[in-house]
């Protein structure tokens, strides 16, 4: 048989498949109406498991492919049913409340909590996110969260990840443990320099202070030094301020060029970071669930059952809607052996068709689900 003839037969089969698929989706809508009327859950795992067992038994050596085909059909049917069913969910209520102010433009002013001191990268991020904001400096990431939760500050700014040194795990844990909403994000190009008192040479330095993230981003340079102690501190700007205040010509700080001018220091070396492509992302968080105009990113925390295909089932819900996932990162659950949660970032808006229903279905089907926010990056 010629290839063209084979393809003609495939086209004919595809036409039948499409017709049968549309019939099946129509029947799924009838099922959704019945479940809605009788307050039944969307997922009927027992029935799906029985159908998959029958399908694999009938499929012979192609059972693996048949299994995935029908699993995808179930996923699409559940996604459609989720759009039609009125069962309340926490994320649905949260998003609907936030959408009340959807047309509101992100403010340019307000009290914002920032970890560090003047000159810190977090302060630069604050200025970019809220150009006319009033910054309240605090010592720790936990203090940023507390300032927002208590109502002292309307917003808080936290570093979330660096292109060279990875995620800031402490911030992820705070997002997991507290009910904050991400309302904006930004990314800064980070340039580290070694700063010391005027006239200090490289050979004079015996101690270097900086934040642990900056230390990690300059690891190659630091590993090349002999007889120099590297000491972590609260942040890079605090390190520069401490060097200036101590007046010790044997100490230096990994900090930024603006901090040199701010604290009366000089650059000993400006070629110390591992990569010139060094960016840090920052989240702006608030206590209230707000979605501002232009929001096009969604962040989630999910937990799934520890079984084969569990994560695939979750990701297939995104694929069914054509949603691009820009981040997937696992994080161990504190106090539990080899149990993980996942942080997801999606390119989507809750106003797009099917997205809210998809999030509600994720909440229903995941062992754990936390909607962190729908926001724009600037």
Buried b (16+ CB within 10 A) or exposed e, 165-203: bebbeebbebbbeeebbbbbbbbbebebbbbbbeebeee
Query: Looking at the domain assignment, is residue 251 inside a domain?
Result: yes
Residue 336: pLDDT band with limits 50, 70, 90: low
Q: Which of 285, 260, 262 has its CA nearest to residue 372?
A: 285
Instruction: With beta carbons less than 8 A apart as the criterion, state whether 155 and 133 touch.
Output: yes
Q: What would the two tokens of residue 168 be?
A: 């800031």
- The CATH number that applies at residue 24 is 1.20.59.10
Domain count, the chain: 4
Return the minimum-mean-pLDDT range out of 89-93, 173-177, 211-215: 89-93
At 268, which helix (H) or strand (E)? strand 266-269
Query: Do residue 250 and residue 218 come from a single domain?
Result: yes
Single residue among 57, 87, 117 that ends a domain in this structure: 87
Return the minimum-mean-pLDDT range out of 49-58, 165-174, 266-275, 369-378: 165-174
- Residue 266 has a pLDDT of 94
Residues linked to residue 134 through DSSP beta bridges, in sequence order:
111
Return the minimum-mean-pLDDT range out of 148-162, 262-276, 349-363: 349-363
Query: Do residue 177 and residue 199 come from a single domain?
Result: no
The predicted-structure confidence for 259-308, as pLDDT tens digits, reads as follows 999 999 999 999 899 988 889 999 999 998 889 989 999 999 988 877 77
Q: Which domain holds residue 64?
A: 1-87
Q: Which of 286, 296, 300, 93 has its CA nearest to residue 183?
A: 286
The predicted-structure confidence for 233-255, as pLDDT tens digits, reads as follows 988 999 999 999 999 999 999 99
Q: Which of 95, 97, 77, 87 has its CA nearest to residue 27?
A: 77
Single residue among 52, 87, 122 that ends a domain in this structure: 87
Query: Looking at the domain assignment, is residue 283 inside a domain?
Result: no
- Rounded percentage of the chain residues whose pLDDT exceeds 90: 55
Query: Do residue 19 and residue 52 come from a single domain?
Result: yes
- The CATH number that applies at residue 112 is 3.40.190
- The CATH number that applies at residue 314 is 3.30.70.260
Q: What are phi and psi of 131, to 5 degrees?
A: -55, -30
Query: Looking at the domain assignment, is residue 297 inside a domain?
Result: yes
Q: What would the two tokens of residue 175 be?
A: 């997002």
- Residue 213 has a pLDDT of 87
Q: How far apart are CA 290 and CA 274, in angstroms?
A: 38
Query: Do residue 2 and residue 83 come from a single domain?
Result: yes
Query: Looking at the domain assignment, is residue 275 inside a domain?
Result: no
* Residue 358 to residues 238, 249, 341, Cα–Cα distance (Å): 44, 59, 19
Query: Do residue 175 and residue 197 come from a single domain?
Result: no
Q: What are phi and psi of 27, to 5 degrees?
A: -65, -35
- Residue 215 has a pLDDT of 93
Q: Which of 65, 124, 114 has its CA nearest to residue 262?
A: 124
The predicted-structure confidence for 63-76, as pLDDT tens digits, reads as follows 999 998 998 898 88
The predicted-structure confidence for 41-56, as pLDDT tens digits, reads as follows 888 889 999 999 999 9
Query: Do residue 95 and residue 66 come from a single domain?
Result: no
Query: Looking at the domain assignment, is residue 18 inside a domain?
Result: yes
- The CATH number that applies at residue 229 is 3.40.190.10
Query: Looking at the domain assignment, is residue 19 inside a domain?
Result: yes
Q: What would the two tokens of residue 263 be?
A: 């604290």
At 220, which helix (H) or strand (E)? helix 219-223
- Residue 337 has a pLDDT of 60
Query: Looking at the domain assignment, is residue 4 inside a domain?
Result: yes
Query: Looking at the domain assignment, is residue 315 inside a domain?
Result: yes
Kindly report the number of other CB atoms within 10 A of residue 378's CB atom: 12
pLDDT at 165 over 80: no
Query: Do residue 180 and residue 211 come from a single domain?
Result: no
Query: Do residue 121 and residue 175 come from a single domain?
Result: yes
Residue 125: pLDDT band with limits 50, 70, 90: very high
């Amino acid at each position: 048989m010629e290839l063209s003839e084979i393809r003609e037969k495939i086209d004919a089969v595809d036409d039948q498949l499409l017709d049968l698929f549309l019939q099946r989706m129509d029947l799924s809508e009838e099922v959704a109406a019945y479940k809605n009327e009788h307050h039944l859950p969307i997922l009927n795992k027992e029935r799906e498991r029985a159908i998959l067992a029958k399908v694999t038994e009938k499929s012979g050596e192609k059972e693996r492919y048949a299994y995935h085909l029908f699993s995808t059909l179930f996923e699409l049917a559940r996604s459609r049913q989720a759009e039609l069913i009125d069962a309340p969910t926490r994320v649905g209520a949260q998003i609907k409340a936030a959408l009340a102010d959807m047309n509101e433009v992100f403010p340019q002013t307000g009290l914002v909590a920032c970890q560090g001191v003047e000159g810190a990268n977090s302060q630069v991020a604050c200025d970019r996110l809220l150009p006319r904001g009033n910054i309240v400096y605090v010592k720790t990431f936990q203090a940023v969260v507390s300032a927002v939760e208590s109502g002292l500050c309307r917003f808080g700014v936290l570093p979330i990840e660096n292109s060279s040194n990875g995620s800031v795990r402490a911030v992820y844990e705070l997002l997991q443990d507290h009910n904050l909403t991400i309302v904006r994000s930004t990314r800064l190009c980070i340039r580290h320099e070694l700063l010391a008192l005027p006239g200090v040479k490289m050979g004079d330095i015996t101690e270097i202070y900086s934040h642990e993230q900056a230390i990690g981003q300059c690891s190659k340079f630091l590993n090349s030094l002999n007889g120099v102690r590297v000491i972590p501190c609260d942040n890079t700007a605090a390190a520069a301020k401490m060097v200036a205040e101590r007046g010790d010509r044997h100490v230096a700080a990994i900090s930024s060029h603006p901090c040199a001018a701010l604290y009366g220091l000089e650059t000993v070396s400006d070629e110390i970071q591992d990569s010139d492509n060094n960016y840090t992302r920052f989240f702006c968080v608030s206590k209230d669930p707000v979605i501002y105009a232009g929001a096009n990113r969604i962040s989630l925390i999910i937990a799934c059952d520890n079984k084969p295909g569990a994560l695939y089932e979750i990701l297939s819900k995104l694929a069914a809607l054509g949603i691009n996932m820009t981040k997937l990162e696992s994080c161990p659950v504190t106090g539990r052996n080899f149990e993980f949660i996942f942080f997801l970032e999606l390119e989507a808006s809750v106003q797009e068709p099917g997205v809210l229903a998809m999030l509600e279905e994720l909440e229903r089907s995941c062992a754990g689900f936390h909607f962190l926010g729908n926001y724009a990056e600037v």
